Chains A and B, each alone.
Chain A
Amino acid sequence: MGATSKTRAVGRNVLRKEGREKVTGAAKYVDDLEFRGMLHGRTVRSTIPRGEIARVRLGFNRDGFTVADWRDVPGRNTIALIELDQPCLAEREVRHFAEPILLLAHADRDRLIEADVSIDYRPAEPVFDAERSPHCFKEIAIAKGDLARGLEDADLVVEGEYRVGHQEQLYIETNGVIAVPENGGITVYGSLQCPYYVHRALTVLLALPPEKVRVVQAETGGGFGGKEEYPSMIAGHACLLALKSGRPVKIVYDRVEDMVATTKRHPGVIRHRTGVRRDGRLTAMEIDVLLDGGAYMTLSPVVLSRGVIHSTGPYRCDHVRIRGRVVMTNTPPNGAFRGFGAPQTQFAAEVHMERIAEALGMDPVKLRQKNAFRPGDTTATGQKLGGDTSALAVLGEAVRRSGFHEKRRAWRGTDRGIGLALFFHGSGFTGGGEVKLASKAALELTETGVRILVASTEIGQGTRTMHAQIVADALGIPYERVEVEAADTGRVPDSGPTVASRTCMVVGKILERCALEIRAKLGKMSPKEYLAAHGQLVVTKEYTGPDGLYWDDDTYRGDAYGAYGWGCDVVEVERDPVTCEVRPTRVTAVQEIGKAIHPVLAAGQIEGGTAQGIGYALLEEVSMREGRMANAQLTNYLVPTTLDTPEMDVAILENPYEHGPSGAKGVGEMPIDGPAPAIVNAIRSLGIDVRAIPATPERILEAPRLSSPAPRVGSGRAPRRIPRVSTP
């Protein structure tokens, strides 16, 4: 190609593509957009957790109002995702508090908000306790080896039950969209992660052919999974109002509505029964995972899937049995949140591992070293791990950097504690997901370089920048000559959703293949010469998995992920003996991600995910009362501020994955897996037996105290009688 670049972009901290717009206030988020004749939309929601709608009364002058209910749905009244169980607007049955029933639009926002609507219900008995749910959305069983034999081989069996609460994504920009009727169809501008999810949902809801629906991502103020599936709902509402009024309609939630009505991380109860030899070798793992899905299925089966696959933690064991269920309750549906089931199950796995070390009287690092996955080991699904398996490397580095052993010894008997967690995270869709998605990405030749055409969205993580770096190097042109098209379904192919730590490893790899083909086509010509000689050039490629990847969805056997990232967090804490408040004072986060395409952005994912994990561990409590979030505002749902977030020492290790672009694996989700168990293990080092998060001062106050020192295992094996050292 004409002007080849001598400097590689990958591995350098090039300037973020949209950086200038973001720091000058020029970036346009959805609430910053205006359209001529635009109305504002409002959603009237249920005020009971379960029942039937008896009567709807409109107590306002309807001048200038557009009113829509389920009868205005031209297509199928559903939010098309996995199962078509969730209505866009309730018809008769209400399954949760804040379920959408009626839509209003008006040009004057004040009149819209003041409009009085009252709804009479015939209430029914709600179910709030997942353990008493009458309906299971999805059950998954994983079996490896012979559990009974593994338990027989054990010197000791350690049991435990661990609980995790809801967590709100709390992107600082609330959910919002604008629907614009045009060209006999509809265009949606929105704050969203997955333009083609919204696109598909709207074709079903509105009974429109695909070419009549266009979805454009506006600059998006954070997502973290919270804008993976929910935007299909709010977009559906805006479209119904726009089509009925014939005018553009904007719906932007205020913070309370966003917190009350939209999805959250699934709460869960995870039970472990683990057989272990006196020398620390794990012989059997029996794990039961129960997640509360809320009132509709949303993405719950896939969250459960990632959850159960990660529920062993990064440890080898020949005999494993895992049972996972996600069930219905009459609470707002839970959904995607960074980590997607893995933070829940790895919290349990790592606190349980700590308890095993306590039971054996063994150094927690040594126990983990003994059992951590090595290259060639097999996971619970039977996946043989590759040469990029880095559990021991991240563990060793984190322990060394943090001075874990020295501090643990020095702080014994004080109010300072230190704990660690070892974890892993699969990159890309689970199992055969990537093959089913068959994502496409494209490059279009421009006069000076290329333009990237992908549906992958920039939501803060640096998609545009990182993709442009990969493409620049594959083409051998300067980074600045790579442009990135807006994520607009009218212009870009479906590269799959921007989720699951797949945007770099999977979509980036497809782009790299596009770039190599363009490079070959150009030969020695410059883009300008090529365009003059041959006309427009667009190269589109589809995902092709690495050879030999195998997955069986019926038996849950095979290669669950193309690659895994590996992480180890060490957290130091301080307890206030009077208030029982525990504050983290320092975090050491060591993560192996294949290759950091942009070290500053990659570190940003680790630092930000770690902070969210600290919130998950200590602060963020969704208080559900009668199926309703009682603390749906930032005054009493606390997320980490500067004063709650400790100093972080982040180290990135690179052990390349042969099928990732420049060796890269995923990085977005993994950082949130580690902080919660590391913090709870640090609290355990203070002698406090916490097994549930968030570990609020109230929970710490009520938690039993650990008998000290940790019980030691006696000598002599008792092969038949299995001692129990702890109660569930």
Chain B
Amino acid sequence: MKFTLNGKSRNVAAPPMKRLLDVLRQECGLTGTKEGCGEGECGACTVLVDGQPVNSCLVPFGQVQGADVVTIEGLGGNPPLQESFVVEGGAQCGICTPGMILAAAALPRGASLAEIRVGLAGNICRCTGYTAIYRAVRRAGRKAPARRRKR
């Protein structure tokens, strides 16, 4: 099945009902996407599908045919969001961080605190109490224009 993964065209053979999360981790070897609950509650497995954050534990692989999928590995080295998560303490244990950063990447440019809270409400972090995550997102917003998202 063909889809775009982190900007590159991929053809991956996997059962269409297999969870996108498992295909990314097993077939594609991208283990940056994490499983936290397996039922779409915690958001640790968040990836972007056509620019939208989705819980990859709830998405059957067949559903991303022809779609543009971005995982944490696809954000590359050190864009502002990643850097500000380190600087502001937005990542503690790090297990929710890839999903959190991808959910944050999908926020509108210059999002207010209220918009950030709503936008990240599907991503549970047990370490930070979220405060440092808000600081990180706002810092990244100040430092650089929001990452251009492919549609």
Contacts and interface: CB of A to CB of B under 8 A. Distances in A.
Partners in one complex: yes
Interface of A: 13, 15-16, 18-29, 31-32, 169-174, 219-224, 254-255, 459-462, 600-601, 603-604, 607-612, 633-635, 639-643, 645, 647-648, 650
B87 A13 contact: yes
A604 B89 contact: yes
Nearest to A223: B93
B71 interface: yes
A360 B75 CA distance: 60
Contacts of B13: none
Given A24-B77, A171-B93, A634-B42, A255 B129 contact: no
Contacts of A461: 92
A604 B130 contact: no
B72 A172 contact: no
Nearest to A604: B89
Interface in B9-59: 25, 30-39, 41-42, 44
Contact of A648 (B91, B116, B117, B131): B131
B131 A15 contact: no
Nearest to B35: A31
Contact of B128 (A23, A28, A607, A635): A607
B126 interface: yes
B34 A19 contact: no
B15 to A, nearest CB: 11
Contacts of A219: 94
A609 B127 CA distance: 7
Interface in B109-151: 116-118, 120-132
A21 B98 CA distance: 10
23 contacts: A15-B86, A16-B86, A23-B94, A25-B31, A25-B32, A29-B34, A170-B126, A172-B42, A172-B44, A172-B95, A254-B38, A255-B36, A255-B37, A462-B92, A603-B89, A608-B126, A611-B128, A611-B129, A633-B41, A639-B126, A642-B121, A647-B131, A648-B129
Contact of B71 (A25, A170, A254, A612): A25
Given A172-B42, A173-B34, 10 more contacts: A22-B97, A27-B94, A169-B126, A171-B93, A600-B89, A633-B37, A642-B118, A642-B120, A642-B121, A643-B121
A607 B130 CA distance: 8
B97 A23 contact: yes
Given A13-B87, A224-B126, A608-B127, A172 B93 contact: yes
Contact of A172 (B36, B86, B89): B36
Contact of A604 (B38, B82, B132): B132
Given A19-B86, A612-B126, A32 B31 contact: yes
Interface core residue of B89, B94, B101 (most chain A CB under 10 Å): B94
Nearest to B75: A24
Contact of B34 (A20, A221, A223, A611): A221
Contacts of A20: 78, 82, 86
Given A20-B78, A172-B124, A220 B93 contact: yes
Contact of A460 (B25, B36, B92, B124): B92
Interface of B: 25, 30-39, 41-42, 44, 71-73, 75, 77-78, 82-83, 85-89, 91-98, 101, 116-118, 120-132
Contacts of A32: 25, 31
A634 B124 contact: yes
Nearest to A259: B37
Contacts of A635: 39, 41
Contacts of A16: 86, 89, 91
Contacts of B128: 604, 607-608, 611
A49 B138 CA distance: 50
Interface core residue of B35, B41, B89 (most chain A CB under 10 Å): B89
Smallest CB-CB A-B distances: 5 pairs: A25-B32, A221-B95, A460-B93, A22-B94, A611-B129
A303 to B, nearest CB: 20
A641 B129 contact: no
Contact of B72 (A15, A25, A170, A650): A25
Nearest to A255: B37
A605 to B, nearest CB: 9
B34 A610 contact: no
A139 B86 CA distance: 45
Nearest to A13: B87
Contacts of B125: 172
B34 A172 contact: yes
Nearest to A633: B39
Contacts of A173: 34, 36, 93, 95
A459 B93 CA distance: 5
Given A24-B75, A32-B31, A607 B132 contact: yes
Contacts of A254: 38
Contacts of A21: 94
A222 B94 CA distance: 8
B129 A608 contact: yes
A600 B117 contact: no
Contacts of A26: 32
B39 A255 contact: yes
A135 B103 CA distance: 50
B92 A29 contact: no
Contact of B94 (A460, A634, A647): A460
Given A172-B124, A255-B36, A641-B121, A607 B91 contact: no
A221 B121 contact: no
Nearest to A219: B94
Contacts of B132: 600, 603-604, 607
